[in-house]
């Protein structure tokens, strides 16, 4: 069965960096685009970024553009989110999610990880 397991969250000071990882299993990782979605405490879902199945295309939400970088290592079945210049408003649970259509980006999700909590605070 499809499994997505995030890691790398924690408490970090404003302005610092953090890298999140998402290890995938149960499917052919290099066939699907992958997303990061976040949820601030008590708030709704906010899309962060997406990467195509081959890593050639990347798109970001305006709120993170220029600060966050999405990447993937298909040999390791792993998705990453490098977060730089972190702000208190970046505090959230970060989920990785699979784009539901193989090869093409449909900008929709079928499987989600359990999330990893990032807290940006001094």
Partner 1 sequence: NFMLTQPHSVSESPGKTVTISCTPSSGSIASNYVQWFQQRPGSAPTTVIYEDTQRPSGVPDRFSGSIDTSSNSASLTISGLKTEDEAYYYCQSYNNDIYVVFGGGTKLTVL
Contacts with partner 1, residue ranges (CB under 8 A): 35, 37, 44-47, 50, 59, 61-62, 95, 100, 106-115
The nearest distance, CB 87 to partner 1, in angstroms, is 19
Exposure string (b/e) for 105-119, b if CB count within 10 Å is 16 or more?
beeebebebebbebe
Helix (H) or strand (E) holding 68: strand 68-73
The nearest distance, CB 15 to partner 1, in angstroms, is 26
For partner 1, the closer CB: 47 or 82:
47
Cα distances (angstroms) measured from residue 43 to each of 4, 57, 119? 22, 29, 15
For partner 1, the closer CB: 1 or 122:
1
For partner 1, the closer CB: 16 or 106:
106
């Amino acid at each position: 069965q499809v499994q997505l397991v995030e890691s790398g969250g924690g408490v970090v000071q404003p302005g610092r960096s953090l890298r999140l990882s998402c290890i995938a299993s149960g499917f052919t990782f290099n066939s699907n685009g992958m997303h990061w979605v976040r949820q601030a405490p008590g708030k709704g879902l906010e899309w962060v970024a997406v990467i195509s199945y081959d890593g050639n295309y990347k798109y970001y939400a305006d709120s993170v553009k220029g600060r966050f970088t999405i990447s993937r290592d298909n040999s390791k079945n792993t998705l990453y989110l490098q977060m730089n210049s972190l702000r208190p408003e970046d505090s959230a649970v970060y989920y990785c999610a699979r784009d539901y259509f193989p090869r093409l980006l449909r900008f929709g999700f079928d499987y989600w990880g359990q999330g990893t909590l990032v807290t940006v605070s001094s």
